[in-house]
Structure 1
Amino acid sequence: MNQILLDSLRKITEEENAILHGSSSVQKKLYTSKKEFVIDNAKLLERGHLIELRPHTRFVHFPRHRHNYVEMVYMCSGTTTHIINDTDRIKLNAGDLLFLNQNATQEIFPAKEEDIAVNFIILPEFFDCALTMIERD
């Protein structure tokens, strides 16, 4: 992976800084306004965009949750461990991809500083656009 990009992704985010300085759990308000932990694309995507990416939050257990979008996780370096649908334990290594639909549940064990993953937040409409392009060729 491009070293400059990897170095940029390694930077401690504001959220991670709060975790490192005493916040022992995920700040759910950053991800949802609902009681049930469904991560809301409206909290993460710029209005009008179909896809966004952000580094995975490290140093904290990410409790069981769902998404109202399709998520793709790309593991840039290190590892992360995920529990999918309460039963499947998946360890991602550098170069691995994980795709999750909107019905899947996910739990993520704490990542360390060198465990760098990128989350792609993808609205289902994105695939409509992509498929239209394929149909033309």
Structure 2
Amino acid sequence: EFARNVLSLEGANSTEFAPETPHPVIDVMEEQKKILRMGGTMRLGAYPCNLKEGSLALGAYGKKEISERHRHRYEFNNSYRDIFEKHGMVFSGIYREGNLLEIMELNNHPWFVAVQFHPEFKSKPVDV
């Protein structure tokens, strides 16, 4: 939505839903593009994520490095990172080893936070 309506990238989408999109802002992980049989190729398990100073994510977690679980094979396409940042999107959580976006947030919004991982895999209703 942000890519289409704020950045004016007509047809921007995920290649999971629109393989021929002119703007693949969400795409298959680069190392998996040549794999024909996708079975067993997901990014699975817990990975560390470094949080940006002053971010909503850091305020919510209260620590600079977190670990969250993943179950996916699509990622944010880093070739769009600069244009997203120029228009107010903050990449507040990064998996440094692969330079992968884990958390993004809108800088002028009270709580627009999007995550690549599944926080529900590790959260419990009694953990506050």
Category of TM-score, reference length = shorter chain: under 0.3
Question: Higher helix fraction: Structure 1 or Structure 2?
Answer: 1
TM-score by length of 1: 0.26
Higher relative contact order (CA 8 A, sep 6+): 1
